[in-house]
Structure 1
Amino acid sequence: MPDVLVVGAGVMGLWAAVMAARAGHSVLVLERDRVGAGASGGLLGALMPHQPDRWNAKKQFQLQALVSLEAEIAGLETASGLSAGYRRTGRLMPLAADHHRERALKHAGDAATAWTLDGKRFSFDVLDAAPVPGWPATEAMAAGVVFDSLSGHISPRRYLQVLRAVLEGMPHVEIREGANVVSIDPSARTALLADGGRISFGHVVLSAGVSSFDLFSSLGLSPPRPIGTAVKGQAALFRGDIDPALPIIFDSGIFVVPHEGGYCAVGSTSEDSFDDPAATDGRLDEVIAAAWRLAPVLKGATLVERWAGLRPKAIGRDPMIGRHPDFPAVSLLTGGFKISFGIAHELARLVVGEMESGSPCKLPPSFTVDAHLEAARREKP
């Protein structure tokens, strides 16, 4: 029987396994398909902070996580001998109108105080022209462009490979693919598999992306509303003469994210209603067209992949993290939606720390399981 059973092998689940193994626990990771088969195995890998205005606990937590991630990735790469494709390249945000520029100048003042941590200060600069001509296109930035030095990117699939390699080199850790957990019995501390098998555990971490919400329901509680939902995203991957050191471009929900080897990912849609979660369609074509307008160099690049997948959005929109208030052997580590990659390591650290100490995680209030349960109670059935 493992000390810690982790259900799900996306970036959240793998980090939970790493943190539990570092703490000396035996760990079993169960993945119904394969490592990274869900949203974590996508294309974008953008690591971007919230805007620096109206600073709060959530934004501070994300800032600390984005800063600490650099050292964590370096440690993983050293241990595995692999590269995760991480770079802090910054982000460019075109300003289409004068009132956008005025708001950005206010944000620059906010960042001067908020974006400082451990002696490091990150900028939010309003520029008249892009640092690299044509990136983004001049036509997209009639009122200038913002450059922030905090943002970066990581290759989602390489990141997962690095985490897996690290885990496979640790004692008392097993990753088992093709193991579909359909329900959790928190009293008996067992997980039921689709093939009828049962696995006992000391503690379980539910980190199975969209499936986490059904597993939550299997605990026997019936909140008036589902505790989370699936949001479909579509993205595309190009390859061409694109420098991986270029900043991310972000504009009105469109991401253009350079990666190693001349690759560049663009995305993404956010679809609450869909017929086929794995199909790409005209909505992705619209995203690609928007990306071409932002970065015309992509028109000469080769389209190598179209991708679609489901991202888990908890009912309170923020991640749902920590021990279940009624079941002390169950922890939630899910619902990261669009920000999981930048904060998964710190969330996993807190979940494992809470499991060991019995004391609640020191989380932003909106991240807690209680906050999401309250949000479900407030919603009408």
Structure 2
Amino acid sequence: MPDVIVIGGGVIGLSIAWELAGKGLSVRVLEQGAFGREASWAGAGMLPPGNLANAKTAEARLRGAAHALWPDWSNELTSRTGIDNGFIRCGGIELRMDDAGGPQSSYQLELAALKSEGVTIETEDVSEVRRRFPEISAEISSAYYLPDFHQVRNPRHLQALLAGCAMRGVELQAGCPVQQIQMKGERIQAVQTGSDTHQGAEYVFAGGTWTGQLLSQLGLTVQIEPIKGQIVLLRAEPLPVRSVIQVGRQYLVPRADGRMLVGSTEERSGFDKRNTAGAVGELINFAQRLVPALKRATFEKCWAGLRPFSTRGRPYLGRLPQFANATIAAGHYRYGLQQSSITAVLIRQVLLNQPVLLPDELNLADSVTE
């Protein structure tokens, strides 16, 4: 019987398994489909900077802690598995292509928040940004540059996690949807997947968008819903820009191999992951307007993923208060890859009864209802 059964094999579940196995625990991961092929694979791999020392909000605290962890986290995975996950410091530009508005505009509020955190902003002079990045449209009216913005290649990182987990003895079982959860009092006794019964001392629910469905079997309600995001992949050689560019929720992410990711939409469409002509067209138009040189780019493919959106405004992390041996790590929305490292550390601290780095983010008492 393993020490921990992790239900969900995306970047959150695999990161937790990697972290726990590294501390000597025996771990089994149950994934309903193929490992890492949902939101974890579909994202763009952006890792924006943060500073935990001055962070005020839950998002900023998690981002700041993750920012500090990622270099060592990535280096250990790469050195142990030999798989390069593409983690690089690429820099990032946040800009607007129209009037950024007054002091209460979203752009100005985001800039003020980063300054209050103590995040390095190399320049907020739009003329300087235009000089450094001449391929960006002359329409931009406001911009700032973050030198400590990183990125990682999602599929490669997932490959490294799978390999690392296997090397640490994690049992990886794909195609195993949990169909029934057996309970006795305040403890989970086992989970059923088809004809197989899995018993563990501890259970971690990390099923992304599907976590709410899983926990409904326990009579619990968590407010996590799927938000579809569509992405387009272009090939542009040479790359017109090599830093991430964000315009609010939309972005361009350049890859070293001459590809450019263009994203992303936010759509409530249930569990429908199909691409639509309208959304793909809007993303391509956005890319061409932002960087006119991309009109010469070639279209490679498009895809969509379902982000696990937590209506409480932050992910569900920590012990499920109704059960003695159940923990949740879900609802990261757009930040699952970015926050996967700190999530794994926090869940390890909870399960091993260690001092917790971010105790405020583990309070679920008022958020998981029966």
Give your verdict on TM over 0.5: yes
Post-superposition offset of 1:144:
3.7
Structure 1 136/79 Cα, relative in aligned 2: closer, same or farther at 3 Å?
same
Percent of matched pairs sharing the same residue: 26
Instruction: Note the alpha carbon deviations across 1:292-347, whole angstroms, 9 max, x for none.
Output: 21122222222212101211112313111111111121110111110111111111
AA aligned to 1:7 is I
Structure 1 137/351 Cα, relative in aligned 2: closer, same or farther at 3 Å?
same
Partner of 2:91: 90
Partner of 2:196: 197
SS in 1 for 2:25: coil
1:309-328 equivalences under 5 Å are 309-328=305-324
Post-superposition offset of 1:284:
2.5
Partner of 2:251: 255
Post-superposition offset of 1:240:
1.9
1:1-381 equivalences under 5 Å are 1-49=1-49, 55-58=55-58, 59-95=60-96, 96-97=98-99, 99=101, 111-112=114-115, 114-115=117-118, 122-123=120-121, 125-129=123-127, 130=129, 131-139=131-139, 141=140, 143-170=141-168, 172-186=169-183, 187-193=187-193, 195-221=194-220, 223=221, 227-243=223-239, 246-273=242-269, 276-357=272-353, 361-363=356-358, 365=360, 368-373=363-368
Post-superposition offset of 1:280:
3.4
Instruction: Note the alpha carbon deviations across 1:203-244, whole angstroms, 9 max, x for none.
Output: 1111111111111111123x4xx5211111111111221549
Name the TM-score, length of structure 2 as normaliser.
0.88
- Quick check: 2:51–2:65 contact (8 Å CA) kept in 1? no
- Quick check: 1:366–1:372 contact (8 Å CA) kept in 2? no
Structure 1 102/352 Cα, relative in aligned 2: closer, same or farther at 3 Å?
closer
Instruction: Note the alpha carbon deviations across 1:139-174, whole angstroms, 9 max, x for none.
Output: 2x1x3421112322111111101111111211x311
Structure 1 19/146 Cα, relative in aligned 2: closer, same or farther at 3 Å?
same
1: distance between equivalents of 2:95 and 2:170?
A: 46
Partner of 1:119: none
Post-superposition offset of 1:133:
3.5
AA aligned to 2:203 is V
Q: Which runs of 5+ in 2 are unaligned?
A: none
Instruction: Note the alpha carbon deviations across 1:89-124, whole angstroms, 9 max, x for none.
Output: 2211223326369976786666455226xxxxx225
Task: Output the aligned Cα RMSD.
Answer: 2.7
- Quick check: 2:121–2:144 contact (8 Å CA) kept in 1? no
Structure 1 134/163 Cα, relative in aligned 2: closer, same or farther at 3 Å?
same
SS in 2 for 1:369: coil
Structure 1 50/362 Cα, relative in aligned 2: closer, same or farther at 3 Å?
closer
2: distance between equivalents of 1:335 and 1:292?
A: 32
Instruction: Note the alpha carbon deviations across 1:48-81, whole angstroms, 9 max, x for none.
Output: 25799x9514213311211221121011111111
**Number of residue pairs matched?**
361
- Quick check: 1:101–1:126 contact (8 Å CA) kept in 2? no
Structure 1 364/279 Cα, relative in aligned 2: closer, same or farther at 3 Å?
farther
AA aligned to 1:149 is P
1: distance between equivalents of 2:145 and 2:325?
A: 45
Name the TM-score, length of structure 1 as normaliser.
0.86
Q: Which runs of 5+ in 1 are unaligned?
A: 117-121
- Quick check: 1:191–1:199 contact (8 Å CA) kept in 2? yes
